Amino acid sequence: MKFTHTAMVAAPKDKVWARLMDIPAAARCVPGVASVRPNGKDRYQGTLAVQIGPVRLVLDGDFAIVARDETAGTASIRADAKDSRVGGAIRATLDLSLAEKEAETQLRIGTDLTVMGRLGEFGQASIKRKADQLIQDFAECLARQVTMR
């Protein structure tokens, strides 16, 4: 499944970039993130609790910044996680890009998501709705964090 989300952040590009690249701080903006721990250079382990329909998932996994270009305002993050209780896993690549638009910064997140095992039974519409909600909440929190500084 592929998703594209765009959000405007009322802050300069360099401030938004700095917050995005502070992975533990940025992760606090993702609803349901229970923990994020460094696991080497640009590598992290984390836990995300999320509800899709009537089912509550606890996804444990690894993610890493696999590419970044501060000048261009682009980065790519790869995530692999599994829920052993429900039985299934996800693999995602998130491509982030920032573009300055007058006094704001446009954040674009392109997600390529693969859902494996029983998690795939939720259906694309349910998963897309949850992804839309998570990204929207993330962007709003990020905007609040960056503008408070």
**Structural domains present in the chain:** 2-148 (3.30.530.20)
- Bridge partners (DSSP) listed for residue 37: 45
The answer to whether residue 55 scores a pLDDT higher than 70 is yes
| Residue 37 pLDDT level (bands cut at 50, 70, 90) | very high
Average pLDDT, the chain: 90
Span 53-70, average pLDDT? 91
Which of 3-12, 16-25, 57-66 has the least mean pLDDT?
Answer: 3-12
pTM assigned to the model: 0.88
Could you read off the pLDDT of 68-116 as tens digits, one per residue?
999 999 999 999 999 988 888 999 999 999 999 888 999 999 999 998 8
Alpha carbon 82 to its chain centroid, in Å, reads: 16
The answer to whether residue 61 scores a pLDDT higher than 90 is yes
> In 3-state terms, the chain is what percent helix, strand and coil (to 5)?
30, 50, 20
The widest CA-to-CA distance across the chain, in whole angstroms, is 47
Residue 65, amino acid: I
Give SS3 for 82: strand
